[in-house]
Structures are given as C-alpha cells and as structure tokens.
Structure 1
Amino acid sequence: MVKHACTKSDIAGASFSIHPMSDQFVEIIKGALEEADTTKVHMDTDDVTTTVRGKLIHVFDVTKAIFVHAAKTGKHVAFEATYSLGCPGDSKGEAYMAEDEIPLNAELVKDIKQPVAAKFSLYPLGGGNYMDVIYSQIEAMKQHVTVSHAHYATRLDGEAIAIFGGLEQVFKATVEGGSSHTVMTVSISANSPSHTGTDRDE
C-alpha cells in the first residue's frame, strides 16, 4: 500500500467542466477560455475536465471568469467544479504559483450581470470548528444572494459574481478555521429554460 506524506502547501486546485447547451458549444468553451486571463495559474485541459492550480484567489478568479464569459452568450450553461486545498499538498504545483494576490479578471467581469442558480457542498477534512464556520459564512452570504436548503447541499440564487465571491469566502474561512484539507463541490446553472419557465432557442 502506497502512503502519501502530508506536506504543507498553499496551492489550491479546481477541476471543472463547463457544458453549454448549444450547437456552438466548442466556440463558447474556447471563447471563454481565451477571454479569461490565466497567466497566474497553471491550467491543463483534457477530454473530461479542465484543471486549474495556483493560489486560491487566482483559482477562483479564473474559474469565475471562464464561467461568466461562457454564460454571457445567453445560452444555457452548466458548470461543475471541485475545489481543493490542503493535505496531501500539491507541492509540485508551487512552481506555478504567482507571487502576488492581485486577480487579473476581477475588474473585467465585475459588471457582468448574470443571474444563476447554484448548489454547493463543503467538506472540511481534518479538524477545526468547521460547522460554526460554515453556518456563519452561509449567514453572511445571505446579504448578497438567496440561500435555501437542498438535499446534500446548500442552494444559492443570485448574480454569478456575488455567488462566486461568497463561495470563495466560505472556502477561505473554512481553511482558516483549521481544516487541514478542504474540498468544495459546486454546480451552477445559467440561462436555463427552467429558470423562467420559457423555452430558449439553443
């Protein structure tokens, strides 16, 4: 049995898939990837997912930008992601980490209005008063988006920028609360016909 040693690392990662419900899905995905500035992260795309690694602030900045750029096309877009930080540390990825914490995409996307529905689940794997952190951060998120219960998750309704901001704060607070390995799963839907009860031309 192979044993993996825990190493201290500040590198975060996200593995995500984005699914535009459109015949132009290739153009939408490629366009979103090209519009997002990814120079402060390391990114690999294969036939299943795209993986982004780097400082937490840059990982959220890039994934938010890619989603918003895809969703602003008006097509129904689904986004699934798993964010992770902590033991076992991704020490090999340290070489890709930007020194600063200035997000490159924040100013470019902050004024894009995009209502979305989302669900997230948070998994603090290793100590800390994580339930107190989760509950307090969910309460804080209510100032910006609509929060409701869902099976095995928490539902969020509101603007994409506000929701990504809330998710980042929840994740960061959980890490700072003592979790040695924090994982978050996120599902986001934009421009779905079921949001308005009307059909869209896909």
Structure 2
Amino acid sequence: MSQSICGKSRIVGFRFSLYPMSDQFVDVIKGALNETDTSKVWLKTDDISTCIRGKAVHVFDVAKCVYLHAAKTGLHVVLNGTFSIGCPGDSEGDSYMMVDDVRSNEADLFELKIEAPTQFALYPMNNSGYMDLIADVVEIAKVKGTFSGGIHYASRLDGNAHDVFATLEDSFMATQEKVSHVTMTVNIAANSPSRKKA
C-alpha cells in the first residue's frame, strides 16, 4: 500500500484531559503530572487539557504514566484524549525530538498492575483504504489479547494498563507507517464502580 503524503513532521502529539471522580480532582491531576517524568516531552497544561509532544516512545510513556499515577489512587478516573501524527498544520516547534529512546517512566511503574478498560478509534486520514487499516489494528489487538469487541464508533480493549497502552502504541505506529497523518482517540477508565466484580 502506498503511503498517502500529508504532514511530514514525525512529532507525535497527545492532547488529553484527566477526570478524577472526586472533589480532590485538583490534587489527583497535579499529583499524576508531578509524579511523571516529563523531561523528554514538551508539555503545556491549560484550564481544559494538557498537550504533550515529542517522540512517540516518550509520548506514550508519559501518557501511560499519568494514567497509572491517577489510577493508583483507587479513585474512579478517566483519561480522554487524542493522539496525532503528521497533521499538515503541525509545526516543528515545541517538541523534544533529539532525545534518546529510553523510556523515563517504564522502570518505576513496571510492577504496577491496574486494569485499563478502553474505547479507542483510529482515523487514518486521507486514505480510501481506511477500513483495511482499521482491520489490521484489530488484528494487532487480538494478538496482544486485549481486543474485546467492536462497539459503535470505537473498539474495546481490556487488560492491564501495560498491555493496553502497548496495543495502542503498536496500533498507532503501525498505521503511521502506511498513512502519514493519523489520529487516534482514546477513552480509558480505571476503578469504575459500575464494572462487575469477577
């Protein structure tokens, strides 16, 4: 399949909002961000959301770490956001693309096991064969054992956060090798009281 040319930048961005279902939401959000090593990404937080930009390896590392630090509080939290690469309107600024590929947060959180039920949707932009690309991503999730079915406007993943984020990263990166402009929306919950106990 030939690659559709869109944006040339290989900067990955992730704009997200973290929603702790608690009146202590400010402490949970700030705590999760402060406990995460963000030294290898550009980061900007405003009154609505946080944006991180940089190499894919570090953007996904930081995203997972923020989620895990919020989730380990035991509170019901939701991480909602959009990953993007290759947007034609993107700029080369505000990114840390010259850093190494060592994940800053992986070692500290490797032993932390938290379930991460997720709904995600992949959008290969400007590509008429997008359904085939989405089917490829479903296969990636099935191989990883995290795919739990299609739902309206999204696909469902279940498993511990490390496996789920690995599925998201592999899906996103495999697609961007075929289509230069890709976005992916994610809605990831933790500790929801509505989940049935096994």
What code does the residue aligned with 1:119 have?
Q
Structure 2 distance, partners of 1:111, 1:137, is 27
Structure 2 residue aligned with 1:133: 133
Per-residue CA deviation, residues 144-196 of structure 1 (Å, 9 max, x unaligned), is 3242111010011111111111000000000012x121000000110010013
Query: Are 2:158 and 1:157 equivalent residues in the alignment?
Result: yes
Query: What is the Cα deviation at residue 23 of structure 1?
Result: 1.9
The runs of 5 or more residues in structure 2 that have no matched partner are: 1-5
Name the CA shift for 1:79/1:181 in 2 (closer, same or farther; >3 Å).
Answer: same
**8 A contact 1:40–1:98 mirrored in 2:** no
Structure 2 residue aligned with 1:190: 190
Quick one: percent identity of the two aligned structures?
50
What code does the residue aligned with 2:127 have?
G
Structure 1 residue aligned with 2:48: 48
**8 A contact 1:53–1:93 mirrored in 2:** no
Structure 2 distance, partners of 1:135, 1:172, is 15
What code does the residue aligned with 1:150 have?
I
> Secondary structure at the residue paired with 1:28?
helix
**8 A contact 2:13–2:54 mirrored in 1:** yes
**8 A contact 1:8–1:89 mirrored in 2:** no
Per-residue CA deviation, residues 12-70 of structure 1 (Å, 9 max, x unaligned), is 10100001111221111111101110000000000000000101111111011001110
Structure 2 residue aligned with 1:76: 76
Query: Are 2:64 and 1:64 equivalent residues in the alignment?
Result: yes
Name the CA shift for 1:50/1:95 in 2 (closer, same or farther; >3 Å).
Answer: closer
The runs of 5 or more residues in structure 1 that have no matched partner are: 1-5, 198-202
Structure 1 residue aligned with 2:36: 36
What code does the residue aligned with 2:57 have?
I
TM-score by length of 1: 0.88
What code does the residue aligned with 1:181 have?
H
Aligned-residue Cα RMSD (Å) equals 1.8
> Secondary structure at the residue paired with 1:196?
coil
Structure 2 distance, partners of 1:32, 1:9, is 29
Structure 2 distance, partners of 1:196, 1:32, is 26
Q: How does 1:114-129 map to 2 (within 5 A)?
A: 114-127=114-127, 129=129
TM-score by length of 2: 0.89
Structure 2 residue aligned with 1:16: 16
Structure 1 residue aligned with 2:3: none
Structure 2 distance, partners of 1:129, 1:140, is 17
Structure 2 distance, partners of 1:73, 1:64, is 15
Per-residue CA deviation, residues 100-123 of structure 1 (Å, 9 max, x unaligned), is 221111122222110121100000
Structure 1 distance, partners of 2:117, 2:130, is 25
Q: Matched residue pairs, number? A: 191
